[in-house]
Structure 1
Amino acid sequence: MDRPDSDGTESERTDLDKKESERTEKEKMSTEKIAVMVDSGCDIAPECIEKYGLWLLPLHIDYPEKAYLDGVDIDPQMVYDRYPKDYPKTSTPSLQEVIDKLGEIADAGFDKVIAVCISSGLSGTWNAVRLASLQQERVEVFAYDTRNISVASGLLGIWASHKVSQGLSFSEICRALEEKTFSSKVMFYMDSLEYLKRGGRIGTVTSMIGQALKIRPIISCNKQGIYYTVSLIRGLKKGKQKLLSEMVKFCKGHRVWLGLGHGAAAEELQEMAEMVIEELGSSAEILYGKQIAATLALNTGPGLIGVAALLDP
C-alpha cells in the first residue's frame, strides 16, 4: 500500500493555502484604516460627503482676481452670472495640495486612501494624485481613474465607501473598483451649445447651426473616458424622452443606484427623476440629486439635466 504524502495531498495543500490566504486577508481587514477621497468633479452632494465619510479634494476655477475652490467657495450660479463677460480657466489641485490633503487624512488615523477621480481623459486630477502619492509615505494610495465624469464618478466613490463599511480589505476594494468601472454611466441633456463653443469643445459654425436649428446634444463618456455624443435632438421635450430611453436601456434588468445633476434646472430634474423611477420601479434607488459642480457648469451651461446610474451596487 502506498504511503500518504507526509505534506498532504495536493487538494489538501490547496485548501490550506486558501485558508491561509483568507486568514491573512482578515488580519489585514482588522488593522487597515481606509479612507475614500473624491475630487469635486465627482459631483457628490454635501450631505452624502458627510454621510459616507468621504474626503473632498477641490478642483480650481481661476478668475483673474482669485482662484476659487470648486464646491467650497464657488458654485455654478456664480459662473453663469459672470458669463459671457468672464470665462475662467479650470485647473487641477497642485501636488502640494494633494500631499497636504493626504496628510490631513493620515492625521485622522487612516493608513490607506482610495482616491476616486474623474476621467484622466478630461482632467489632470488623477495624474496629480498619482504623482503626489509617490512624494509622501504616510498613507498608501490607490489612485482610481473612473474614466467617467460627474455623478457617474461620484456613485463609484460612494460604492467604495460602502465596501469599506462592509469590511472589505484595501486590496479587495481596489480590485473590485477596477471591475466596476463600466457599470457606471452618466448622460447629460444640454440646453445650450454656447458654453461648449467657448470651451473649445465644438466649433463656431457647428454652434451657430445647432442654435439656429434648436439642436441639442445628449453626451456621455466612452470607455476611454472621453466625451462623445449619444444623440442630437430638437427641443427639451424630445431631449428628456431620449435621455430617459437611453438610461432605461442601460439600466434594464439590473438593480441600480441613481444620481441626478442639473445646471439651474431643478424643476426639470425633478420631472426627470419621476420619469426614471416610473420606468425602473423598485429596482432603482435615487441616492441624491444636486446642482452640478462649477467646473462642469463652465463647459455645459444652464439648462443641463444629467442622470447617472451604477449597476448592481
Structure 2
Amino acid sequence: MNSAKTAIMVDSGCDISQEFIEQYDIKVLRLKVLYGDRMYSDGLDIDPLEVYRRFPQEIPTTSTPNMYEVSELVNEIKSEGYEKIIGITISSGLSGTYNAVAMAFEEEDIETFAFDTKNISIGAGLLAMWAAKKLSEGWTFEAVKHGLNDKISDSKVFFYMDTLDYLRKGGRISPAVAIVGKALNLKPIISCNEKGTYYTVSKIRGQHKGLEKLTDSLKDYIGDKKAYLAIMNGDGTRYLDIIRARIKEMFPQCEVVVDKQITATMAIHTGPGLIGVGVLFE
C-alpha cells in the first residue's frame, strides 16, 4: 500500500496489463459482455480471442457496471485498509461507467475522486498508470487529483482499423459511412476528441497506406517530444512487426511501456485487424 493509503480504481476498458495491475494493486471494475442471456466479465472469463473466434456469426453487446457493483468494490477496497479512492474511467462520451462511479462515490463515507479521462482504451490506461506510479513515489491524494486534471491533455490514442463494420453495428458511425468505406477500401485512423468521443483523424485507401498513416499521425502529434508509448493489438498480429519497427525508427526519444492485446469489450466495438498506439507525454 502507498503512503497516501489511496487506491486506484479503473474500469477494464482502460486496458491496463495484468502485470501492472498486480504490481500497483490496482482495483478493476469489470465491464460486461453479453451473448444473449449469458453475461461475462471483461478480462476475467472472456478475452478478445474468444470474441474474434465467434465473429461474425455472433456479435455480443456490452454493458457498464452499475452503482451496486461499484459500491461492492469500494467496500472491498476499504476492507483492505485504504482510506481514499481515485476512480479512473474511460470517456463518459463512450461509456456510462464514469456516471456510475461518480454517483456511487457520492454515497461513500471516505474521500473519493471520480476522474473522466475523456479517452478510451490505453489512452485512459496511461493516465491511470501515471497516477499509480505517482502514489507509489509518495504523492498525496490531492497532488495526484490535481495532477490528473493537468495531465489529461497529455494523453491520446490512435487506432488503425481494418473495417468500419463493427463501429457501425455499435452505433458509433452511420451505416452510410460504413458502406462507402467498405466500397472504397478505406482504412480509418480514429482517436478521441476533447469531448471524449470518437473522431476520424483520416481515411486512407488500402492497408499498407493505412498503417503508414497511423505512424505519420503519431509523428504529427508527438514531433520530437519525449513520451511513453503503448502498442495495442486487436487481432492485428500480422501488423505488429511493421508498427514496432516504425515506432523504434521514428521515435527514438520515446519509451514503449505497454505492448498487449486490447480488451474483449474494445474488440466488440472495433472488430478484427486493429492496431493502436497510445501516447502520454512525460
Is TM-score (shorter-chain normalized) higher than 0.5?
A: yes
What are the residue-to-residue correspondences of 1:244-255 with 2, within 5 Å?
Answer: 244-255=215-226
Q: Which residue of 1 aligns with 2:46?
A: 74
1:121 aligned partner: 93
The alignment status of 1:308 with 2:281, answered yes or no, reads no
Conserved? CA contact 2:52–2:235, under 8 Å: no
Range with bigger deviation, 45-54 or 68-77: 45-54
Distance 1:252 1:66 in 2: 46
Question: Is contact 1:184-1:311 (8 Å) kept?
Answer: yes
Alignment RMSD (CA, Å): 1.4
Aligned CA distance change for structure 1 residues 47 and 99 (closer, same or farther; 3 Å): same
Q: Distance in 1 between matches of 2:137 and 2:122?
A: 22
Residue 134, structure 1, aligned to residue 106, structure 2: yes
Displacement after TM superposition at 1:237 (Å): 1.1
Higher helix share: 1
Instruction: Choose from 298, 303, 307 the match for 2:268.
Output: 298
Q: Does structure 2 retain, via aligned residues, the 8 Å contact 1:248–1:276?
A: no
Counterpart residue type for residue 100 of structure 1? E
Q: State yes or no: 1:215 paired with 2:186.
A: yes
Amino acid paired to 2:144: I
Q: Which residue of 1 aligns with 2:205?
A: 234
What do residues 209-245 of structure 1 show as CA deviations (whole Å, max 9, x unaligned)? 2112111110000001010000000112111111101
Alignment of 1:1-313 (within 5 A): 32-137=4-109, 139-281=110-252, 283-312=253-282
Moved over 6 A (4+): none
Q: Which amino acid aligns with 1:215?
A: L
Unaligned 5+ segments in structure 1 are 1-28
1:41 Cα deviation after fit: 0.5
Q: Which has the larger Rg?
A: 1
CA distance in 2 between counterparts of 1:60 and 1:270 reads 31
Q: What is the number of residues matched between the two proteins?
A: 281
* Offset at residue 255 of structure 1 (A): 1.6
> What secondary structure does 1:36 align onto?
strand
Moved more, 153-162 or 50-59: 50-59
How many angstroms apart in 1 are the aligned matches of 2:113 and 2:33?
26
Question: Counterpart in 2 of 1:17?
Answer: none
Distance across 2 between alignment mates of 1:268 and 1:53 = 32
C-alpha distance in 2, partners of 1:169/1:182? 21
How far 1:201 sits from its partner (Å)? Answer: 2.1
CA shift, 1:82, in A, is: 2.1
Structure 2 unmatched ranges of 5 or more: none
Query: Deviations 1:138-171 (Å, cap 9, x if unpaired)?
Result: x321111000000111110100011101111101
Letter in 1 for 2:270: T
78-87 or 300-309, larger mean C-alpha shift: 78-87
Percentage identity across aligned positions? 46
Instruction: Indicate if the aligned counterparts of 2:184 and 2:205 stay in contact, CA closer than 8 A.
Output: yes
CA distance in structure 2 between the aligned counterparts of 1:59 and 1:234, rounded to whole angstroms: 34
Q: TM-score, normalised by structure 1?
A: 0.86
How far did residue 53 of structure 1 move?
A: 2.3
